Chains A and B, each alone.
Chain A
Amino acid sequence: QQQVKQSPQSLIVQKGGISIINCAYENTAFDYFPWYQQFPGKGPALLIAIRPDVSEKKEGRFTISFNKSAKQFSLHIMDSQPGDSATYFCAASTGETSGSRLTFGEGTQLTVNP
């Protein structure tokens, strides 16, 4: 069974600190790794995504680090702000031949204290 394992379940960070969320996967056929951000009462929204041909992707304060050999990837939020408080999900998919089906991690509830 395809699985994506996410940790930690919850994370508390002080304003200005670095938030780090980790994910590990098993299926080596995964070739697309997005991160989603979800606020209470809303649908998940794409934050940033990476493909396995690069080891890092940065967009503003958000960075994905990807380690293909270890089958792990992580989200780093630099200079964390109270407005970043949300639930974050990592995900992975194997491409159009399987319908681009996303397999999600369990989620991390991030709280950034002012």
Chain B
Amino acid sequence: DAGITQSPRHKVTETGTPVTLRCHQTENHRYMYWYRQDPGHGLRLIHYSYGVKDTDKGEVSDGYSVSRSKTEDFLLTLESATSSQTSVYFCAIRDRTHETQYFGPGTRLLVL
């Protein structure tokens, strides 16, 4: 599992509420990524980080923000959750010597 944990693993929330998902890694990887997975769309990149306080947008970043104040933690925030953000969210890290990305176990989010 490349030392990646995600919390919470499951969450149910209501439209309009803020939600923060956490990704934690133990192996000091520089690159970290947040994806969402929806049927028929594969995995789509939301945001990624290439170092502490260094982040950039992916293809579906609207409605999401991220923060990385220390190497091991990458936070994804939905400022005001909408039903279209119901999805499974995966965090990934990139191996430092290759381009391989390793994924965490995922967080299943339901926005009612």
A27 within 8 A of B: no
Instruction: Tell me, in angstroms, the Cα distance from A103 to B42 when the chains sit together.
Output: 9
CB of A43 within 8 A of CB of B100, answer: no
Interface of B is mostly: strand
CB of A44 within 8 A of CB of B100, answer: no
CB of A43 within 8 A of CB of B90, answer: yes
Instruction: Tell me, in angstroms, the Cα distance from A89 to B44 when the chains sit together.
Output: 12
From known contacts A43-B90, A43-B103, A43-B105, infer whether A101 and B42 are also in contact, taking CB-CB under 8 Å. no
From known contacts A34-B100, A46-B100, A46-B102, infer whether A99 and B50 are also in contact, taking CB-CB under 8 Å. yes
In A4-54, the 8 Å CB interface with B consists of: 6, 9, 32, 34, 36, 41-46, 49
CB distance from A73 to the nearest CB of B (A): 15
A56 within 8 A of B: no
Count A-side interface residues using an 8 Å CB cutoff: 26
A102 within 8 A of B: yes
Residues of chain A within 8 A (CB-CB) of B92 are 43
Q: Which of B50, B56, B59, B106 lies in contact with A43, CB distance below 8 A?
A: B106
Instruction: Tell me, in angstroms, the Cα distance from A92 to B99 when the chains sit together.
Output: 10
CB of A99 within 8 A of CB of B90, answer: no
CB of A42 within 8 A of CB of B105, answer: yes
Residues of chain A within 8 A (CB-CB) of B43 are 44, 89, 102, 104
Instruction: Tell me, in angstroms, the Cα distance from A1 to B48 when the chains sit together.
Output: 18
Residues of chain A within 8 A (CB-CB) of B105 are 42-43
Residues of chain A within 8 A (CB-CB) of B41 are 106
Residues of chain B within 8 A (CB-CB) of A44 are 43, 90, 103
Task: State the A residues within 8 Å of B (CB).
Answer: 1, 6, 9, 32, 34, 36, 41-46, 49, 89, 93, 95-96, 99-107
Nearest 5 pairs between A and B by C-beta? A43-B103, A104-B42, A104-B43, A32-B99, A106-B42
